[in-house]
Amino acid sequence: MIQRVTTPALFPPPTYSHASVVEAGTKLAFLAGSVPLDAEGKLVGEGDPVRQAEQVIANLEEQLRAVGSDLAHVLSTDVYVVSSETSVLSAVWEVVEASGLSTGPHSSTLIGVACLGYSGQLVEITATAVVPEATAPEQDPRS
């Protein structure tokens, strides 16, 4: 269903693919940016990009679950981090890598930005995912 491509002519990426290809007719979900807010709308991990990244991933998993998908079916992400320091971007990427998103590995862009939408927000992730076809439950042969 998903073909992950790492282009031999390019520098090999550490934990993501250069492209993901999906056959036509597959259901896709385009997710809005996942942000580091809890269920009550309170910022999680003020001043801590790693903690915020963990909350963003947890929220992303909820978004995916709501559309019938999961982290393993994510095709691509854009990871936004409020920082110009590569060490901060790398720390956030370690959270992404540990989450299971890079299992595919998916295609991703890691971007340092000046600010994001919520006061104190340091991390946001947008994603595109395949929504796998639901399999029919097995019928009991006795029924």
Q: Where does the pLDDT of residue 23 fall: very low under 50, low under 70, confident under 90, or very high at 90 and above?
A: confident
In tens, the pLDDT along 84-103 reads: 999 999 999 999 999 988 77
How many other C-beta atoms can be found within 10 angstroms of the C-beta atom of residue 27?
Answer: 13
Dist. CA 51–CA 55, nearest whole Å: 6
Q: Who has greater pLDDT, 134 or 116?
A: 116
Judged against a pLDDT cut of 90, whether residue 54 lies above it is answered with: yes
Which two three-digit tokens encode residue 47? 């001043």
Instruction: State residue 137's pLDDT score.
Output: 44
Dist. CA 24–CA 96, nearest whole Å: 28
Dist. CA 127–CA 141, nearest whole Å: 41
Of 13, 95, 104, 4, nearest to 54 by C-alpha is 95
